[in-house]
Amino acid sequence: MSDAPRKAGKPIWPKIPAAFVRAVLAGHSSLGLAFAALIYLVCFSGSVAVFAREFQRWETPRAAPMRNVSPEAVQTAAYAAIAKVHEVEHVYINLPRRDLPRLVLTVDGEGPNRTFFADADGRLIDTPDPVWTNFMMKLHADLHLPRTIGDFLVGMVGVALLSSLISGVLAHPRIFKDAFHLRWGGSKRLQEADLHNRLGVWAMPFHVLVSTTGALLGLTTIIVGALALAVFQGDMDKAYALFLPPHPKDDPRPAITQPLIVKAMEESIKRAPGGRLAYVGLEHPLERGAGITVLVNHPKLMADSDSFAFDGQARLLEAEHLSKANLGEKILGSVSVLHFGWFGGGAVKIAYGLLGLALCAVTSSGVAIWLARRRDKGRPAPRWERLWIAAVWSQPLAFAGSGLVVLLPMVPASPAVAIGSWLGLTIVVGLMTAWISADALSRGLRLGSGALMLAVAALWIARHAAAAVDPMGWIMTAAIAALGAALILTVGLKKTKAAAA
């Protein structure tokens, strides 16, 4: 970059009054500080959750990947899974897709949902549940709180993030002028402000997209409730029925035959030529009022599924073709796809992971700016500085720690173990702020996180190397090890720089 003074051009952004910018900045600051920790947690878990399907394969590497599966194999696997669970209400069957080339069956019956994997012939494979992936996804979706409260809280975090983006743009009068400036290593405040603004502005489409879709997903219950009250006199079932396939007539008597899955799948693909069978859902499969839903994907479209509803005897109840869907149905079908980055293969997933981490950095630097401003004004807040460092760097440590505990052969992997180890590590790091300085805490937590990630990779190799047949297991292990090494290197690099200075 040249240091020569440049001729100032005519500004292309309208002149914003300084008093307005200062007022918006005050709102931006107070909102950001109030929600910083929650926003950071949701963004960090979201960045990891982008790779949920890859982590699921990493946790179950003994299940061989497959490109296709026959309807007969799906039916065999479904019947076998149903036989293993009492009082089955629903069965959700995900057919092999590019990023999850598995036949995965989730059975909702007595007790918690159970996940099964099957081979290409429909035989169930003896492989453990992807406990850590489920823990991480649920942390992102509802923070492991009671569902309604957790969903609402995460939805509100999305709204707070969206609001911060609005006020952030309004409080940024030099948005274009500074678009490519990143000054590193000068004053702490300037460095953090440059990082905050560049990451915030250039990734703005992503930030707006994930915060809006995230808020919508989290607030669905309350929004649908209010809208149903207005449009359908409070009947929420009527509102949901507009978007979901019809239920077969309720008949709880025991079924004479099991649901005819093969026939329903064959009928669906006949009605959606060029598509790819993606999903089969069973409702009350052991009752005479059983229902079958089949989704057929069209990969080039954003909202990508044609939907077919059948009764248990595979008689067609309704066919919903995407080409005939209205705007509302198309938007609704795109929300999750857009939120999790499931629309563009591996490149978009990696981009989503990086941009998600950028959002974590925006959140982290926002609080760092406030702390640096206080320090510059002679009112440092060392306790808050330590707490914020702990909040930021405790999460890589706690995520890696919970992954390690779940992998340990002597510990029975369960959701409680994953949650307990994550929560325990987070609390311990919080307590460490009482006697460890912010700098030492930052270095120690990065070193600890890196070491734990390397340990996770080593333990995975020790446990699965001999029997792993899914290459994604190795790819994810290599990525975890590389990230761990990179975290450790950041500590080493900083030390070298400090010594040179």
Partner 1 sequence: MWIIAGWAAVAATSIVGAVVLGPVRGVFIAWTLISVSALALVARNVQIRASRQRGERSLAPEPSDRTSRAWRGWLRALLAGPIGLAAAMGVAVCFAVWAPLEDQTRIVLGGVTVPILWGGAMAWTLADDRILRATAVLVGTAVVTFAAAVLKGF
Nearest approach in angstroms of CB 239 to partner 1 is: 7
Closer of 242 and 431 to partner 1 (Cβ): 242
Nearest approach in angstroms of CB 207 to partner 1 is: 9
Range in contact with partner 1 (rule: CB under 8 A) among 81-89, 124-132, 182-190, 406-414: 182-190
Return the residues of window 3-22 that contact partner 1 according to CB under 8 A: 12, 18-19, 21-22
Closer of 354 and 483 to partner 1 (Cβ): 354
**Site residue total, partner 1 (CB under 8 A):** 93
Answer yes or no whether residue 491 interacts with partner 1 by CB under 8 A.
Answer: no
Nearest approach in angstroms of CB 482 to partner 1 is: 18
Q: What are the b/e assignments for 288-316, b being 16+ CB within 10 Å?
A: bbbbbbbbbbbeebebbbbbbbbbbbbee
Closer of 345 and 420 to partner 1 (Cβ): 345
Answer yes or no whether residue 355 interacts with partner 1 by CB under 8 A.
Answer: yes
Q: C-alpha dihedral over 205, 210, 213, 217, to 10 degrees?
A: 180
Closer of 62 and 298 to partner 1 (Cβ): 298
The H or E element that residue 196 is part of is helix 188-202
What strands, in cross-sheet order, belong to the sheet with 124-125? 124-125, 114-118, 103-108, 90-94, 276-283, 291-297, 305-311, 316-320
Return the residues of window 73-132 that contact partner 1 according to CB under 8 A: none
Task: Return the ∠ at Cα 127 (arms to 121 and 132), rounded to 5°.
Answer: 130
Q: C-alpha dihedral over 22, 186, 487, 495, to 10 degrees?
A: -150
Closer of 121 and 237 to partner 1 (Cβ): 237
Answer yes or no whether residue 413 interacts with partner 1 by CB under 8 A.
Answer: no
Relative to beta strand 124-125, strand 276-283 is unpaired
**Rounded to whole angstroms, how far apart are CA atoms 221 and 154?**
12
**Rounded to whole angstroms, how far apart are CA atoms 468 and 190?**
48
Nearest approach in angstroms of CB 27 to partner 1 is: 3
Nearest approach in angstroms of CB 494 to partner 1 is: 11
Nearest approach in angstroms of CB 364 to partner 1 is: 16
Helix pair angle (147-170, 188-202), 10° resolution = 110
Closer of 93 and 369 to partner 1 (Cβ): 369
Is residue 397 exposed (0-12), middle (13-18) or buried (19+ Cβ within 10 Å)? buried
Nearest approach in angstroms of CB 440 to partner 1 is: 18
Return the residues of window 366-395 that contact partner 1 according to CB under 8 A: 372-373, 375-376
**Rounded to whole angstroms, how far apart are CA atoms 493 and 212?**
37
Contacts for 449-452: CB closer than 8 Å, 24+ residues apart: 449/393, 449/396, 449/397, 449/400, 449/484, 449/487, 450/483, 450/484, 450/485, 450/486, 450/487, 450/488, 450/491, 451/484, 451/488, 452/397, 452/400, 452/401, 452/403, 452/404, 452/484
> Contact with partner 1 (CB under 8 A): which of 4, 8, 256, 327?
327
> Contact with partner 1 (CB under 8 A): which of 149, 244, 302, 381?
302
> Contact with partner 1 (CB under 8 A): which of 10, 86, 146, 184?
184
Residue 350's identity, in one-letter code, is I
164 token code pair: 């911060």
Return the residues of window 436-465 that contact partner 1 according to CB under 8 A: none
Nearest approach in angstroms of CB 175 to partner 1 is: 12
Return the residues of window 50-69 that contact partner 1 according to CB under 8 A: none
Answer yes or no whether residue 236 interacts with partner 1 by CB under 8 A.
Answer: no
The number of residues making up the chain comes to: 501
Closer of 121 and 318 to partner 1 (Cβ): 318
**Rounded to whole angstroms, how far apart are CA atoms 249 and 244?**
15
**Rounded to whole angstroms, how far apart are CA atoms 473 and 464?**
9
**Rounded to whole angstroms, how far apart are CA atoms 292 and 307?**
11
Would you call 139 helix, strand, or coil by DSSP? helix
Closer of 124 and 332 to partner 1 (Cβ): 332
Closer of 230 and 410 to partner 1 (Cβ): 230
> Contact with partner 1 (CB under 8 A): which of 37, 351, 447, 459?
351
Instruction: Draw the binding track, 137-176, toward partner 1 (x: CB under 8 A; -: no contact).
Output: ------------------x--xxx-xxxxxx--xx-x--x
* CB distance 272 to 306 below 8 Å: yes
Range in contact with partner 1 (rule: CB under 8 A) among 74-82, 90-98, 123-131, 345-353: 345-353
> Contact with partner 1 (CB under 8 A): which of 153, 204, 236, 479?
204
Nearest approach in angstroms of CB 16 to partner 1 is: 10
In which residue are the tokens 């069957």 written? 93
Instruction: Draw the binding track, 27-46, toward partner 1 (x: CB under 8 A; -: no contact).
Output: xxxxx---------------
Nearest approach in angstroms of CB 333 to partner 1 is: 10
* CB distance 327 to 286 below 8 Å: no
